[in-house]
Structure 1
Amino acid sequence: MFTNRVRQAIAATLQGLPLSATVNEFTPPKIEFEVEPMTGGRFIVEEMVKSGKVLGAKLVLQGAGPEIMLALGVKMGEDILLNVREAGQDQDGNTWFTYHTVGGKLKSLDAGVVKMGDKPTTTLDLSCRTYTRLENGIPVIDIDVRTQKFMLNGVDILGDARRAVLLP
């Protein structure tokens, strides 16, 4: 049974380098759609989905100094691969886990405000080309913008359209 969850651990790798001790927060891609109103002959307007919006993710690292950034070789516009894994327990005492995998480009790198007494942070803003999400080993999201694969909540939304134009 699905119940309330408490996150107990976060681990991450960027370009294969472990960042587990430095992850402050991760914002996975927001799945959003462009819609337009359909009005013809209608009193109440209905919205029709036109396309998916650009995907982006954000990773905030604590204490990511030059050694980490240089070792990663991450620079503006370079392809990156980010894996973020989270796990915890639900209110019934069951262990749960979620794996996020993001592939794409580094859009911005922000060192944040330099302030006495604060811990330095580095924010990576990513433009996503691919995004997958596994919940307890079950794929729930699998998006690839180049192949137009768009699986959301286990349903391949564009499967019929891809097959109709002879795409895999």
Structure 2
Amino acid sequence: MSATPLNILFLCTGNSARSLIAEGVLRHLGDGLFKAFSAGSQPTGAPNPFALRVLAAHDIETGFAASKAWDIFAGDDAPVMDLIVTVCDNAAGETCPIWLGHPQVAHWGVVDPAAANGSDDEILAAFQTTYDEMSSRISALIAAHPDTETIGDIARAIGAQAAGRS
């Protein structure tokens, strides 16, 4: 494992739910070994309140949460990413900006909890499922002790394993 924290950017379309949850989980569990970021191709402008609720329910601070455009991570003054993880199929299929440093890329498709219908409890349950999936994958990534050379292969294997369970 590298002594320098690895930068990981989670991408989805709206940057209001899945990618924010992933960012929050990695910030919480990463223990200084990782720096987590998130962004979207078409940001909604605000975090989904249910995403914030589920993070808070797990004692994850939410002050970081903001819906951001992914192009802010493509500029010359942006942090160089080691890994970019798309967490929705739309973002995985979109033409992404050219990232500084040529980071590794992986896809962790997760159902959009913001598309859930029903009562508040049912919607919150969908967000909890997303949290559980992200927490499991991020915990597996952390446990693998990746470095800049192995992080992409490890993240892709985690995504493939999760896709096989779907």
| Bucket of the pairwise TM-score, normalised by the shorter protein | under 0.3
TM-score (normalised: structure 1): 0.23
The structure richer in helix per residue is 2
Which structure ranks higher in relative contact order (CA pairs < 8 Å, sequence separation ≥ 6)? Answer: 2
The structure richer in strand per residue is 1
Whichever of the two has the greater Rg, that structure is: 1
TM-score (normalised: structure 2): 0.23
